[in-house]
Amino acid sequence: MAMDAISVIRAKRDRGELSDEQIDWVIDAYTRGEVADYQMAALNMAILLNGMNRREIARWTAAMIASGERMDFSSLSRPTADKHSTGGVGDKITLPLAPLVAACGAAVPQLSGRGLGHTGGTLDKLESIPGWRALLSNEEMLHVLDTTGAVVCAAGDGLAPADKKLYALRDVTGTVEAIPLIASSIMSKKIAEGTGSLVLDVKVGSGAFMKTLEDARELASTMVGLGTDHGVRTVALLTGMATPLGLTAGNALEVRESVEVLAGGGPSDVVELTVALAGEMLDAAGVRDADPAKALADGSAMDVWRRMIAAQGGDPDADLPVAREQHVVRAPATGVLTRLDAYDVGVAAWRLGAGRARKEDPVQAGAGIEMHAKPGDAVTEGQPLLTLHTDTPERFDYALQSLAASYDIAAPGTGFTAPPVVLERIA
């Protein structure tokens, strides 16, 4: 059946349903280069504006899987469990989580991505560690997984190659938030990856792509359904992202904070979510006699972290990059910090160099933001509230524009109740 990109774009632009044949053709043609980036960008925008039904999403996901190979971890002696976050600000959870779950007895084949828009990317964070490699062959990935229990790496060229192209395109064309594209992107990689179970961390709030619980539930339910239909036990937690996670947003800054968590310290919200997700992953994998909180406290997770980083060429003892310039934002009044907007902080970190505006842009390893207070904390006029880090000080003014209305300070003694870290569970 003859196909062309313009007809497919028009069909979705005019709010029609794409047929199975149209979906199969456009994904294959885009992967082969027959459909241009600008044509796929137009189709992505039409999907964002007009949506897809369950059949279309399922077929789109299947076509992405079919664009490449599928991995097989059946030779491992441990059950496999993976986790995916839909993206947030300060979301460094994968870094302590993967070695923690491995320390408890499951294998974690974690295929991660780079930053999308104002959200950070796990690979960008880990690449701030001297020598660490994100690109592994399938054989290398299996070897690291078998010998350390956990691996965090980029999806290989052979694994859902259609998604690799689409992922980068969405980041720079304003189509990241489209639920059908998010769901199919995540699940095509995870299903092709071959993990036996999957836990989804679906962020909700200003710093997430899903701003409302309703949208987050829709995305989570869609992905749980896609995973279940492909034989992958899938569970989703809806977690808060109105405020950044932890006290850092930026690549090397978040690695430092993750190491603090693995050493038994770190911010309470990062620890709480790490342990909660570890429990879900272990349960989904059928490992029910381990205590992730104990493994975090006794150093066994840190031991796995060091082996995991070294196995991918990194030096776990090396000094992490530090930005050349800093700027301190001070509290303008004494009182209680009642709001610190995750989106504003994420945009500011991106403007400082922690993220990219074009898919080919590099990121600054040391750029980002330190937060010296979180909502509920008492602050004193003049004390440091935020510290901005960058190698290029001309970025400070642009970043400060994003932070101008990013926080609220109420009168001293004002009561404040922090929202829960985990909002809902969908299975």
Which residues, in sequence order, are CB contacts of 33 under 8 Å at separation 6+?
A: none
Of 135, 131, 146, which is closest to residue 309 (Cα–Cα)?
A: 131
Q: Are 321 and 367 in contact (CB under 8 A)?
A: no
What is residue 326's predicted lDDT score, i.e. its pLDDT? 98
3-state secondary structure the chain: CCCCHHHHHHHHHCCCCCCHHHHHHHHHHHHHCCCCHHHHHHHHHHHHHHCCCHHHHHHHHHHHHHCCCCCCCCCCCCCECEEEECCCCCCCCHHHHHHHHHHCCCEEEEEECCCECCECCHHHHHCCCCCCCCCCCHHHHHHHHHHHCEEEEECCCCCCHHHHHHHHHHHCCCCCCCHHHHHHHHHHHHHHHCCCEEEEEEEECCCCCCCCHHHHHHHHHHHHHHHHHCCCEEEEEEEECCCCCCCEEEHHHHHHHHHHHHCCCCCHHHHHHHHHHHHHHHHHCCCCCCCHHHHHHCCHHHHHHHHHHHHCCCCCCCCCCCCCEEEEEECCCCEEEEEECHHHHHHHHHHHHHCCCCCCCCCCCCCEEEECCCCCCEECCCCEEEEEEECCHHHHHHHHHHHCCCEEEECCCCCCCCCCCEEEEEC
CB atoms inside a 10 Å sphere around CB 276? 20
Cα separation values, 89 from 126, 243, 261, 336, Å: 16, 8, 17, 22
What is residue 1's predicted lDDT score, i.e. its pLDDT? 61
**Bridge partners of residue 371, in order along the sequence:** 386
Phi, psi of 56 (to 5 degrees): -60, -45
Q: Are 241 and 338 in contact (CB under 8 A)?
A: no
What is residue 113's predicted lDDT score, i.e. its pLDDT? 82
Instruction: Give the torsion through C-alpha atoms of 84, 87, 93, 95, to 10 deg.
Output: 80
What is the rounded distance in angstroms from the CA atom of residue 106 to the CA atom of residue 124? 25
Claim: this prediction has a pTM higher than 0.75:
yes
Of 203, 276, 240, which is closest to residue 375 (Cα–Cα)?
A: 240
CB atoms inside a 10 Å sphere around CB 74? 7
Of 401, 386, 317, 299, which is closest to residue 351 (Cα–Cα)?
A: 401
Write down all domains in the chain, each with its CATH number in brackets.
5-51 (1.20.970.10), 82-158+176-311 (3.40.1030.10), 325-410 (3.90.1170.30)
What is the rounded distance in angstroms from the CA atom of residue 32 to the CA atom of residue 3? 14
Report, as ranges of residue numbers, the positions in the chain whose pLDDT lies below 70.
1, 359
Residues identified as active-site: 84, 163, 170, 185, 189
Question: Which two structure tokens, joined as six digits, stand for 273?
Answer: 């979510």
What is residue 115's predicted lDDT score, i.e. its pLDDT? 81
What is residue 327's predicted lDDT score, i.e. its pLDDT? 98
